[in-house]
């Protein structure tokens, strides 16, 4: 077994353990929220997975943004693999965050969906990155595909900071958990809830690195296959 | 409680689907690479 395969296996194992502990802490260890209607208290626990999913998606798109810039500077295929891997991972985390957010919204806002600035901008992010893969699928020549996808990836990323700041810039019903201007300690959670919140974020960070490493490994295999096909005139 | 279960279920389902898709694509590519490397070896021996 190669060293990279062994490292991936260790990462996979670590991510699984971290996520299982995160589930335990979020569902059992964390205290109930006390400042909300008792009927929606169980749904408050959704934030422990919803927020890290959303942050992981933004981190993934940031990695894709940096990789796209590096591809345009160096023209190395490595950065194209990183960009497409991170974008794909970002889409998965975005879908997870949007669905879990809707499940929280129903008991909290009495609706699964509303065209609030955060929800609208986040949906635009999702559509922009789905379009990124449609663009890639429409171009056959590999270097041209990578170059255009990198340019598109840089512009698509502009929607991500806009989404992140939307709850701070505009009038929105979406709660602000971190750096909340209405809260004296800048944090919309009690001290005991904070520990769980921090841990689930760390667990998602480990999961993010693991999934990205696995997807990049697949990206290299795809490149190897394309090179073999070219050699054999397939 | 239903919404809590649905939210956690959805997140795990989406991430599980992503992991399965990586695993299946990796298996498919490994098989294709093996076949093509065999073909390449045969061509080089001729």
- State the Cα angle at A60 between A191 and B10, rounded to 5°: 70
CB-CB contact of A83 with A68 (8 Å): yes
Question: Nearest residue of B to residue A229 by CA position?
Answer: B36
User: CA–CA separation, A29 vs A196, rounded Å?
Assistant: 8
Tokens of A51: 């927020």
Helical ranges in chain A per DSSP H: 3-24, 41-44, 47-74, 77-109, 117-138, 142-157, 159-169, 191-231
Question: Is B38 near chain A, with CB under 8 Å?
Answer: no
Cβ neighbours of A29 (radius 10 Å): 13
Question: Is B20 near chain A, with CB under 8 Å?
Answer: no
Tell me which residue range forms the domain holding B40. 1-46
User: Which pLDDT score is estimated for A51?
Assistant: 94
User: Which pLDDT score is estimated for A44?
Assistant: 84
Tell me the mean pLDDT per 10 residues along chain A, length 234: 81 95 90 76 88 96 97 96 97 96 90 91 96 95 94 96 88 76 61 87 96 95 91 78
Question: Is B35 near chain A, with CB under 8 Å?
Answer: no
pLDDT digits 0-9 by tens, B1-46 = 889 999 999 999 999 999 999 999 999 999 999 999 888 888 888 7
User: Which pLDDT score is estimated for A182?
Assistant: 61
Tokens of A156: 């698509």
Enumerate chain A positions whose Cβ falls within 8 A of a Cβ in B: 23, 27, 42-43, 45-46, 49-50, 53, 88-89, 92, 95-96, 99-100, 103-104, 106-107, 207, 211, 214-215, 217-218, 221-222, 224-225, 228-229, 231-232, 234
* ipTM score: 0.90
Q: The domain spanning residue A35 has which CATH number?
A: 1.20.120
Q: What is the pTM of this model?
A: 0.91
Tell me which residue range forms the domain holding A100. 3-231
B29 with A215: Cβ contact below 8 A: no
User: Which pLDDT score is estimated for A86?
Assistant: 97
User: Which pLDDT score is estimated for A67?
Assistant: 97
Question: Is B22 near chain A, with CB under 8 Å?
Answer: yes
Domain count for chain A, please give it.
1
Among A19, A92, A201, A226, which would you mutate to test the B interface (most chain B Cβ atoms within 10 Å of its Cβ)? Answer: A92
Domain count for chain B, please give it.
1
């Amino acid at each position: 077994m190669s060293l990279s395969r062994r490292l991936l296996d260790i990462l996979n194992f670590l991510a699984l353990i971290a996520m299982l502990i995160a589930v335990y802490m979020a569902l059992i260890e964390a205290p109930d929220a006390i400042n909300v209607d008792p009927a929606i208290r169980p749904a408050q626990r959704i934030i422990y997975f919803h927020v890290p999913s959303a942050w992981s998606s933004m981190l993934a798109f940031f990695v894709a943004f940096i990789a796209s810039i590096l591809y345009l500077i160096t023209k190395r295929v490595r950065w194209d693999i990183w960009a497409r891997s991170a974008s794909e991972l970002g889409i998965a985390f975005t879908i997870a965050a949007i669905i879990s957010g809707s499940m929280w919204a129903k008991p909290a806002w009495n609706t699964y969906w509303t065209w609030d600035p955060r929800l609208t901008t986040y949906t635009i992010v999702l559509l922009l990155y789905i379009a990124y893969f449609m663009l890639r699928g429409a171009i056959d020549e590999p270097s041209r595909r990578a170059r255009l996808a990198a340019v598109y990836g840089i512009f698509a990323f502009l929607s991500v900071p806009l989404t992140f700041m939307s709850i701070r810039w505009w009038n929105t019903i979406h709660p602000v958990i971190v750096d909340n201007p209405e809260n004296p300690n800048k944090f919309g959670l009690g001290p005991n809830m904070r520990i769980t919140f921090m841990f689930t974020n760390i667990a998602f960070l480990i999961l993010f690195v693991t999934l990205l490493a696995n997807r990049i490994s697949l990206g290299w295999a795809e490149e190897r296959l394309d090179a073999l096909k070219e050699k054999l005139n397939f | 409680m239903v919404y809590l279960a649905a939210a956690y279920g959805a997140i795990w389902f989406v991430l599980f689907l992503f992991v399965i898709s990586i695993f299946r694509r990796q298996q498919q590519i490994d098989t294709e690479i093996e076949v093509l490397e065999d073909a390449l070896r045969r061509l080089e021996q001729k």
